[in-house]
Amino acid sequence: MKPSIAFIGLGVMGHRMLTNMTTHGGFNLAWAWDPNPDSCRAVEEQYDGIRIGSSAEQIITASDVDVVYIASPPQSHKEYATAAARAGKTVYCEKPLGVDVKDSRSLVEEVESSGVLNVVNFPFVDAQAVNMIQAKLADGSVGDVTGVDLRLHFSSWPRGWQHSASWLSERKEGGFVREVGSHYVFLTEKLFGPTTLIDASVRYQDDPKLCETHFLARLDCAGTPISFAGGAGGIGPDRVEYTVWGSKSSYRLWDWNKLQSTAGDEWVDELQHVEDPRQDGYMRVLNNFLGMVKGDAHTMAPLRAALSVQEIVEQILDR
């Protein structure tokens, strides 16, 4: 039987998950709710059979719901996730887990104590490019890791396709350190283990309501130096590039899902057999999640892993 999903938050990420679960075919799109009636109408018209609830509480407690997927802004995640846990539902939450670390610790403790399955949507849990880097680290092909770099640049923030999510431009819940940097803190801890922030510098806009424009951060993973840097503004293509530098070979993950390697000369494209790495990643994560729900082995990230990521991200933003 397909697990039935209730969707809270019907913005960019909510629509993406609806589309991907429809493409996957292994889920029943049961209920949806958003405080914006226009968003609800759009979903009702686009997805056959889905029902629009009158409130988040209604769809969380609906008897035919197995999983509550939460794609609302970060500050609301605690409210909806704890309500879902109390109702005995599997919690599937977007990142970041929240923006207040104390609240998120309380959230994790309550959800864990309820005993329900819980995950945060980090696509790097089962991306083929990440799996390859992990395998090369394990078999010694990389050699000694001499450092890891993350380089980000966005010509505008939020990005054009995020225009409907105005909160992403605000310091309170948004910014690219939370929205994008969180993925790479997670990836770093997945590959190298617990991460410690050494120091950071953040430049904010003059308007205290608005998010950062540039940041630098220096981190450490058991002696491996990690450097993150990013900015927004200026004409040019966006840059999202994560490089693992090794004494034998190095690997560069760029544009999220594309992988290159080098043994000292030119960068060489890897995984060329994967026609659409982004879509392949979406489907692999949903396969992973479906296996988890059915009791199979999986690599999905629990809320506690997302809490570790949030602690690092908020430390960076507090500098």
Of 73, 89, 120, the one marking the end of a domain is: 120
Q: Model's pTM, two decimal places?
A: 0.97
| Phi, psi (deg, nearest 5) at residue 5 | -115, 135
pLDDT, residue 217, reads: 98
Kindly state whether residue 149 falls inside one of the protein's structural domains: yes
Mean pLDDT by 10 residues, the chain (319 residues): 96 96 98 96 95 98 98 97 98 97 98 98 97 98 98 94 87 97 98 98 97 98 97 96 98 97 96 95 97 96 98 96
Query: Considering the domain boundaries, does residue 176 fall inside one?
Result: yes
Regarding whether 259 and 133 lie in a shared domain, the answer is: yes
pLDDT given at position 162: 87
In a domain, 113, yes or no: yes
Inter-residue contact 64 to 30 (CB < 8 Å):
yes
Residue 305, φ and ψ in degrees, nearest 5 = -65, -40
**Do 73 and 150 fall within a single domain?**
no
* pLDDT for residue 177: 98
220 lies in the same domain as 173: yes
Domain that holds residue 110: 4-120
Within a domain: residue 283?
no
Do 100 and 43 belong to one domain?
A: yes
Q: What's residue 160's pLDDT?
A: 84
Question: 168 and 284 in contact (C-beta within 8 Å)?
Answer: no
Residue ending a domain, choose from 120, 136, 168: 120
Cα–Cα distance for residue pair 193/78, rounded to 1 Å:
26
Say how far apart CA 91 and CA 22 lie, in whole Å. Answer: 19
Q: Is residue 34 part of a domain?
A: yes
Does any domain span residue 95?
yes
